[in-house]
């Protein structure tokens, strides 16, 4: 192994550790500002989203949801009564995961002028990074202006007795599995848990969903979890709330998993998925060399700069502001602009940035999220309970989506619900939640209303087309006016 101190460091304006969507966007903005940029990646360029999260999970879910929608349309329902073509669904997933090859993403980064370094990157001091390549050699890098940590998060598996013997699934195994297990236990009722229960149940698994709390999707309005739970049960899932796994074991290396619950019962399955939270991938980044705690979430300001460290940025999941790919990419655009502005103050780069203000404000009050189950659940901003805890004087305005003409045309027997949380003092929206088939595409209109703090009296003049599901906006406004 070559000593890092014996090799002249390669110098760049910006060094990005982590080449997922967040790191790619930081690199893109830095390069657009004329800054030389190195990107360090220890796995696949494109990161978690491209290969084990957003893309493969939504590729798996799309056929499931499309079939469910078709089964609710007269004249089409009988034609789609049969099972899904599992082989075709998995092949579709494989294509969207690029068959777990990153040639295209590497070519894109190199095409914008970034330099890709394969290997594990660690800080070794201020503005200093050492890359340990796959062959064990070490390559020191220095950053003239900034280092951006974009290493994301990892799935947390609880330390239950027997966990080391059962080869548990995390989100990675759940989105990349090559075969459908006959029986699947899913532990956790958040987004990953309900989406993967939806997928594998539709592909033929007998799903048992174990939830420690009282319901699903605890970070959304309660009715969102209730409607998704109702649909999962109707699809054949065994949903148990208020229970916890206390131990797991496999009777034989290739035998079933036996899960013991805190109520004394046991559940048997072929595979077990733990969807029980995320932890930052910061445990081996050399944070201790600059006075930070390894394995910790990194606290940042609204430009994503790490507090007390003017040259260090933590962007995406590692800062724990909003663990969503689109929010991480949003932060990356902000951080890239902030880095470019800082470089200009230091005498490098062009005189102007095309990327706008250098503060990430949407992470506080206007975070959108879609859960791609059947029905879909989508929300932006604060729930009623969150708004009340924040001290706002608010009112929840609810409407049954089944009573909107466009919803009835979309599907026979349409079931759904909408809520907007109105700030009564400012007459703006603090949050919006939709649950129902086909509502994911409604969410951006709500995001614009919440992020833009559009006054209620102006929303009356944003006229929804008839007959579409978006007419829910008119119905919500009417309900607010009349209540």
N-to-C CA span, the chain: 73
4-46+102-154+280-362 matches 375-482 in fold: no
Rg (CA), the chain: 24
CATH of domain 4-46+102-154+280-362: 3.50.50.60
Q: What is the mean pLDDT of each run of 10 residues along the chain (483 residues)?
A: 55 98 97 97 97 98 97 95 96 98 97 98 98 97 98 97 95 98 98 98 98 96 98 98 96 91 96 97 98 97 93 97 96 94 66 55 92 98 97 98 96 97 98 97 97 97 97 98 92
The pTM assigned to this predicted structure is: 0.94
Tokens, residue 83: 């099972």
* Cα 123 from Cα 290, distance rounded (Å): 8
Task: Give pLDDT, residue 357.
Answer: 56
Domain residue spans in the chain?
4-46+102-154+280-362, 163-276, 375-482
Kindly provide the b/e burial profile for residues 45-82, where b requires at least 16 CB atoms within 10 angstroms of the residue's own CB: bbbbbbbbbbbbbbbbbebbbebbbebbeeeeeeeeee
Task: Give pLDDT, residue 428.
Answer: 98
The label of the residue with tokens 């390549």 reads 133
Q: Could you confirm whether domain 375-482 is CATH 3.30.70.600?
A: no
* Cα 427 from Cα 346, distance rounded (Å): 44
Q: Could you confirm whether domain 163-276 is CATH 1.50.10.20?
A: no
For 64-70, the CB contacts below 8 A with 24+ separation are 64/89, 64/198, 64/199, 64/202, 64/203, 64/374, 65/372, 65/373, 65/374, 65/376, 65/437, 67/202, 68/202, 68/374, 68/437, 69/374, 69/410, 69/411, 69/437, 69/438
Residue in 311, 21, 337, 294 with CA at minimum distance from that of residue 152: 21
């Amino acid at each position: 192994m070559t000593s890092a101190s014996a090799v002249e460091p390669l110098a760049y304006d910006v060094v990005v550790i982590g080449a997922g969507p967040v790191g790619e966007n930081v690199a893109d903005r830095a390069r657009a500002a004329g800054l030389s940029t190195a990107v360090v990646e220890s796995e696949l360029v494109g990161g978690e989203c491209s290969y084990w999260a957003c893309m493969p999970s939504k590729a798996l879910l799309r056929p499931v949801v499309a079939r469910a929608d078709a089964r609710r349309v007269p004249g089409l329902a009988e034609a789609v009564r049969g099972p899904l073509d599992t082989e075709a669904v998995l092949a579709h997933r494989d294509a969207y995961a690029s068959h777990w090859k990153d040639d295209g993403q590497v070519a894109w980064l190199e095409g914008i002028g970034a330099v890709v370094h394969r290997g594990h990157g660690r800080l070794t001091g201020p503005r200093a990074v050492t890359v340990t390549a796959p062959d064990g050699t070490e390559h020191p890098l220095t950053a003239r202006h900034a280092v951006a940590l974009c290493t994301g998060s990892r799935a947390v598996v609880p330390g239950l007795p027997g966990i080391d013997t059962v080869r548990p699934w995390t989100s990675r195994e759940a989105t990349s599995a090559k075969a459908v297990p006959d029986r699947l236990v899913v532990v956790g009722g958040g987004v990953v848990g309900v989406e993967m229960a939806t997928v594998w149940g539709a592909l033929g698994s007998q799903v048992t969903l174990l939830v420690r709390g009282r319901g699903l999707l605890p970070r959304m309005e309660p009715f969102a979890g209730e409607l998704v739970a109702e649909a999962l049960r109707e699809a054949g899932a065994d949903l148990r709330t208020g229970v916890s796994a206390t131990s797991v074991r496999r009777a034989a290396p290739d035998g079933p998993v036996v899960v013991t619950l805190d109520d004394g019962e046991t559940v048997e399955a072929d595979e077990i998925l733990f969807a029980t939270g995320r932890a930052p991938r910061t445990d081996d980044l050399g944070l201790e060399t600059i006075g930070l705690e390894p394995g910790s979430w990194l606290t940042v300001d609204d430009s994503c700069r790490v507090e007390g460290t003017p040259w260090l940025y933590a962007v995406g999941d590692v800062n724990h502001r909003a663990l969503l790919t689109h929010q991480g990419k949003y932060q990356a655009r902000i951080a890239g602009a902030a880095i470019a502005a800082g470089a200009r103050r230091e005498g490098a780069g062009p005189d102007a940035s095309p990327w706008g203000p250098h503060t990430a404000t949407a992470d506080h009050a206007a975070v959108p999220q879609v859960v791609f189950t059947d029905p879909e659940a989508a929300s932006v901003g604060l729930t009623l309970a969150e708004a009340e805890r924040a001290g706002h004087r608010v009112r929840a305005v609810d409407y049954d989506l089944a009573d909107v003409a466009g919803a009835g045309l979309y599907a026979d027997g349409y079931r759904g619900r909408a809520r907007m949380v109105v700030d009564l003092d400012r007459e703006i929206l603090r949050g919006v939640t939709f649950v129902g088939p086909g509502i994911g595409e409604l969410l951006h209109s709500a995001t614009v209303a919440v992020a833009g703090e559009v006054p209620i009296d102006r929303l009356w003049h944003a006229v929804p087309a008839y007959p579409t599901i978006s007419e829910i906006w008119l119905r919500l406004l009417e309900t607010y006016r009349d209540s």
